[in-house]
Amino acid sequence: MPKNTTTPNKSAIRVRMYRQGLGDCFLISFPKGKGYFHMLLDCGVLMGTESAAEKMQAVANDIGQETNHQLDLVAVTHEHWDHLSGFTQAQGVFDKMSFGSVWLAWTEDPNNAIANQLRSQRAQQLRVVQAAVARMNALGLAARSQPLQNLLGFYGVSDTNNPSQTGAALDYVKSRCPPVYCTPGDAPKTLPGVKGVRIHVLGPPQQLDLLKKTDDASKVYQKLYGVSPLDSLEAALNPNAFDKTYKNPGELSRPFDPRHCIAPTTARTDAFFREHYGFEANDPAAWRRIDQDWLDTTSELALQLDAATNNTSLVLAIELTASNKVLLFAADAQVGNWLSWADTQIELTAKKGQPVKQARLLERTVLYKVGHHGSHNATLCQDGLEAMTHPDLVALIPVNEDMSNKKKWGMPCGNLLGALKDKTRGRVLQEDKPLPDIATLTKLTSAEKKQFQHATAVTDTYMDFFITP
């Protein structure tokens, strides 16, 4: 694929979106003095991607070459494999680079009690999903376990007997430089040597109800029955898991009192059950069996695990103070994360001393890194995309439709993609697609077409977009 060799003036900020597959990896280069300040935002690709290690090594080699092996800032948004895998798959390449600073969300802070609680519950949820997949596979229910296995891929779990690899990848980043933990409401961050740029932290939210929408239900259940649904499910999968916590975890995990229960071995000798329950696989009554149906509840748990992790995404709004333009990087933030921004006050240059809220921030957004690869619940409507009214708006979607279709995820969401094309008047850069044909952008003026064409460049490895402050 030929490269667009036109280059804007030297004051332009370049956002490079890598084309490794379904995953996030952005290199943002800010002019400073005679050189550039290089910021790497995530670096990963979805587990199961063909030749994933080779692709991430190629990405890392390009990053090293472009930055002269000096990364001024590395920011990791959250602990998902498709945002972190490159630090493991191309660790040898990153070993040769210097990390000036590392930013992580407050949810990764080991000294934050709430963050520790969240990580502990996430680890338990992951154990339960792995155990459920192992049980399903052992019972010959691999087809039913496949959606769960797909979600485990977000945590770098290739086999149910192996631990998550995302923790090790994140630990590697932490080992390169003492991290700065970012919290909404922090004072705007500046970049050493870079003029006219401030970075605002919008997410993740600190309100637990926005991070985890099922908290109330689990508290009520725990209060009534003495064991949470999560603990109950893990006890059913592994009765020894709670010997130190509960006196009889197996009993607590059952929906009925013992007096209403019959052991499977006893039922197999009972004439009624032998006739009507269909114990044998080829028995005409086998369809009646519900012995393993309880395992399907793990699917909901896995979705909650995925959504909760996405909602811990570090969301950054990069403000260009000379023009008040904003570059919004939403990572995989979902509804709860977005809603929390409404309470985050941002002091933009034009209103110095007068903090403004989310809508004022969004209406100045000229570049939107689309949330969660274009999924339906990662971009709000009224309080999200519809509020992005700047005439220069451009959207970047790091998605691979072939992989998404293979997983039956439907990303990017058709309705969202249509809305993005409408709001940007066609200026959507999708990682797995060629650049938009200028001739088809009929809603742009001739000057806007020329500007957009001049601001984009593409190779097989990346897509570049330039913003002139």
pLDDT of 381 above 80: yes
The residue that leads in pLDDT, 146 or 303, is 146
Tell me how many degrees the CA angle 441-444-449 measures, rounded to the nearest 5.
80
Q: Which of 217-226, 234-243, 305-314 has the highest mean pLDDT?
A: 305-314
User: What pLDDT does 77 receive?
Assistant: 97
pTM of the shown model: 0.80
pLDDT of 58 above 80: yes
- Tokens 């660790």 — which residue? 91
| Mean of pLDDT values over 361-383 | 90
User: What pLDDT does 179 receive?
Assistant: 97
| Mean of pLDDT values over 263-283 | 72
Residues 6 or more apart in contact with residue 4 via CB below 8 angstroms: 435, 453, 456, 457, 458
User: What pLDDT does 107 receive?
Assistant: 94
Conformation bin of residue 426: beta by default, left when phi > 0, alpha when psi is -120 to 50: left
The pLDDT tens digits for 330-364 are: 999 988 888 888 766 666 555 555 555 556 789 99
Q: What is the mean pLDDT of the chain?
A: 82
The pLDDT tens digits for 13-48 are: 999 999 999 999 999 999 998 899 999 999 999 998
- In the chain, the domains with their CATH numbers are 13-114+165-211+306-467 (3.60.15.10)
pLDDT of 401 above 90: yes
The strands making up 428-430's β-sheet, listed across from edge to edge, are 197-203, 315-320, 325-329, 365-369, 394-397, 428-430
